[in-house]
């Protein structure tokens, strides 16, 4: 039998060990910054909270009545409005990363009725200078569209036709809350407290809240997974058909790997039930859907009208090329930092969610051993995703919480509900007091995460605003090593924005001179970054940038940078 006090003690040891292991100075990658400025303070606060909970359990009581659907719908409406407001007030409606930026980039293409736009002949050879990352790999970069799956961008473009596109993720997050409550009501009919725990676990997740204020696809992953599970559990012919349609969209959101890792364990539960036909339908349908989305780049190229030379090595030849060009390199080129990176990720996953989620999920182990309800497929999805990311992509870079686990947060919260019920069966008053104490203790940590996320985004947004204030046709932005502002190279898919922003590191001296011959140019180097608070520790040496732009020094095309 696992005791709450023993579990909290193990959590204290885990968090303390992680802090000690990660305290040794390492390379200042963005993961390290997040650890020092967000996760370490939050982990220390959680340690203090767990120690308090081990010594004192208040006699506080949860409501005796279960949360009604009417109440949850009202909360969901308020949540959507709050997240919409936070998109602007907290996150400045600013796509911080290239991942987020490409959602709007692709969405504009889809809104124009195309799957991709051709690179204008005038800009041949400049594709990577204009869009440095995540372009679809075709010869000569002749097409402007991302290499992501299209559904998230298409959803955002669709919402933009009738409303503010920034409403999409707040609405999806609100829908996820309603769906998760419905599942908790189904799973925990005998435990009102577990339903309150599930509701609180969602609402107190800084990861869910902050991510929903961004264009990241992860909010859609979570909402679609929860919708899929609700339909799967209905267990009617029509609901399984609808679940398959949701699966098509979920796999095509932005990366094909995530949804199958969630859905697979539930589909496998059909085997011990001897439901061979239904299992076969799901297996064949998912195989076909995966092949379709893996071949999506080929479809995009085929509809674009450009000719593809197979000898050019473009990664658009369907499934075989997908495995050869995108999966095998990840398996062959193992990141030597895998262990510390995954430790960072797990710490981030813990501190960006309600303090009770991980300890209560651990307390669900007896339910998992007994195979109670959905406990086994819920935990299997989490473990499979962690294993896949450890092998394929331990470095997540930017992200509010551990975003590669985002689609599985519903699993973790439902497991916390199972763990709460285990305690409540033995000591209901202790369970209620512990849940309320940990929930209350999460609030200041949640506020800290939101405030630090806002502070992190601000300098990036201000640098982009500085770039947009320039009065030239083109801005050449200093993206040279050792620090790069490469994500601030932002252009519309139709290249209609002015100024156009180009990355210095992707330009040859001849290309710089050619830009000067046909455009007015502003050079924006790292000396201008501190004016907006961007990367204050950036080395002042701009020798590489000066060397790169030397061909146009003193030329008439140059315009002085505007403040």
**Same-domain pairing of 394 and 516:** no
429 shares its domain with 480: no
Name every residue whose Cβ is closer than 8 Å to that of residue 73 and which is 6 or more positions away in sequence.
Answer: 178
* Whole-structure pTM value: 0.95
- In the prediction, which pLDDT does 484 show? 74
Residue the block writes with tokens 């896949």: 388
Binned average pLDDT, 10 residues per bin, the chain of 563 residues: 92 97 80 95 99 96 97 99 99 97 98 97 96 93 96 98 98 99 98 98 99 99 99 98 99 98 99 98 98 96 77 52 62 78 97 99 98 98 98 94 98 99 96 98 98 97 97 96 87 98 96 97 93 80 91 96 91
List the structure tokens of 419.
């763990």
pLDDT of residue 311: 53
Range of the domain at 525: 469-552
The total number of structural domains in the chain stands at: 2
Asked if residue 293 belongs to a domain, the reply is: yes
The CA distances from residue 418 to 65, 300, 357, 358, 467, in Å, are 18, 45, 11, 12, 51
Asked if 347 contacts 31 with a C-beta cutoff of 8 angstroms, the reply is no
Q: Give the model's pLDDT for residue 302.
A: 93
Are 222 and 334 in a shared domain?
yes
**Do 437 and 545 have their domain in common?**
no
Among candidate residues 410, 427, 456, the one where a domain is terminated: 456
203-225 b/e with 16+ CB inside 10 Å = b?
bbbbbbbbbbbbbbbbbbbbbbb
Q: What are phi and psi of 63, to 5 degrees?
A: -55, 140
Q: Is residue 133 part of a domain?
A: no
- Out of 456, 482, 506, a domain closes at 456
- The values of phi and psi at residue 143, to 5°, are -120, 140
Q: Cα(285)–Cα(247) distance, rounded to whole angstroms?
A: 9
434 and 544 share a domain? no
Last residue of one domain, picked from the residues 410, 430, 456? 456
Regarding whether 395 and 484 lie in a shared domain, the answer is no
Are 330 and 416 in a shared domain? yes
Assign residue 119 a region (left: φ > 0; alpha: ψ between -120 and 50; beta: otherwise): beta
- Let me know whether 452 and 537 are in one domain: no
Note the maximum CA span of the chain.
81
278: its two tokens: 């239904």
pLDDT 10s digits, 67-125: 999 999 999 999 999 999 999 999 999 999 999 999 999 999 999 999 999 999 999 99
Are residues 481 and 417 both part of a single domain?
A: no
Q: 93 in a domain, yes or no?
A: no
Q: Cα(187)–Cα(382) distance, rounded to whole angstroms?
A: 18
What is the pLDDT, as a whole number, of residue 337? 86
| Same domain, residue pair 316 and 436 | yes
563 within some domain: no
Residue 464 lies in a domain: no
Do 195 and 243 belong to one domain?
Answer: yes
Is 111 a domain residue? no
| Cross-strand pairs, 180 | none
Is 276 within the bounds of a domain?
yes
Residues 249 and 196 placed together within one structural domain of the fold: yes
Element (H, E) at 118: strand 117-118
Question: Residue 321: its pLDDT value, please?
Answer: 60
The Cα 135–Cα 552 span in angstroms is: 29
In a domain, 113, yes or no: no
């Amino acid at each position: 039998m696992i005791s709450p006090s023993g579990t909290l003690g193990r959590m204290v040891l885990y968090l303390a060990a992680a802090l000690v292991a990660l305290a040794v100075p390492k390379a200042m990658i963005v993961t390290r910054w997040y650890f020092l400025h967000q996760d370490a303070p939050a982990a220390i606060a959680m340690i203090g909270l767990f120690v308090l909970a081990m010594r004192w359990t208040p006699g506080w009581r949860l409501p005796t009545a279960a949360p009604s659907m009417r109440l949850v719908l009202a909360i969901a409406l308020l949540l959507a409005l709050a997240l919409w407001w936070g998109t602007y007030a907290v996150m400045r409606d600013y796509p911080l990363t290239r991942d987020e930026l490409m959602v709007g980039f692709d969405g504009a293409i889809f809104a124009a009725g195309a799957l991709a736009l051709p690179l204008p002949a005038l800009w041949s050879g400049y594709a990577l200078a204009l869009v440095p990352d995540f372009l679809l790999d075709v010869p000569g970069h002749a097409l402007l569209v991302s290499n992501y799956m299209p559904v998230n961008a298409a959803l955002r473009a669709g919402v933009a036709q009738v409303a503010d596109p920034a409403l999409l993720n707040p609405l999806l997050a609100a829908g996820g809350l309603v769906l998760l409550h419905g599942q908790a009501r189904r799973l925990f009919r005998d435990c009102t407290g577990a339903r309150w725990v599930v509701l609180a676990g969602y609402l107190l997740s800084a990861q869910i809240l902050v991510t929903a204020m961004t264009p990241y696809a992860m909010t859609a992953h979570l909402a679609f997974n929860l919708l899929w599970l609700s339909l799967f559990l209905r267990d009617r012919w029509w609901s399984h058909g609808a679940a398959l349609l949701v699966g098509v969209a979920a796999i095509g959101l932005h990366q094909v790997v995530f949804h199958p890792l969630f859905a697979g364990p539930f589909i496998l539960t059909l085997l011990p039930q001897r439901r061979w036909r239904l299992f076969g339908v799901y297996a064949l349908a998912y195989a076909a859907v995966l092949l379709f989305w893996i071949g999506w780049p080929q479809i995009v190229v085929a509809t674009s009208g450009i000719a593809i030379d197979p000898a050019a090595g473009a990664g658009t030849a369907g499934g075989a090329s997908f495995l050869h060009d995108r999966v095998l390199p990840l398996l062959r080129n193992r990141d030597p930092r895998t262990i510390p990176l995954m430790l960072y990720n797990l710490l981030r996953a813990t501190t960006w969610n309600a303090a009770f989620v991980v300890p209560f999920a651990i307390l669900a182990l007896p339910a998992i051993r007994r195979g109670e309800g959905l406990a086994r497929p819920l935990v299997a999805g989490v473990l499979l995703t962690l294993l896949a990311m450890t092998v394929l992509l331990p470095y997540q870079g930017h992200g509010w919480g551990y975003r590669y686990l985002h689609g599985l947060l519903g699993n973790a919260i439902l497991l916390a509900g199972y763990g709460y019920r285990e305690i409540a069966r033995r000591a209901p008053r202790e369970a209620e007091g512990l849940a309320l104490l940990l929930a209350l203790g999460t609030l200041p940590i949640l506020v800290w995460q939101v405030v630090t996320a806002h502070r992190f985004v601000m300098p990036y947004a201000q640098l982009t605003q500085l770039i947009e204030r320039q009065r030239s046709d083109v801005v050449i932005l200093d993206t040279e090593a050792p620090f790069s502002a490469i994500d601030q190279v932002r252009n519309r898919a139709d290249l209609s924005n002015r100024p156009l922003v180009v990355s210095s590191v992707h330009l040859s001296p001849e290309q710089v001179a050619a830009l000067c011959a046909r455009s007015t140019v502003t050079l924006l180097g790292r000396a201008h970054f501190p004016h907006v608070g961007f990367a204050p520790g950036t080395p002042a040496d701009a020798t590489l940038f000066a060397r790169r732009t030397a061909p146009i020094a003193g030329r008439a095309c140059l315009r002085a940078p505007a403040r």
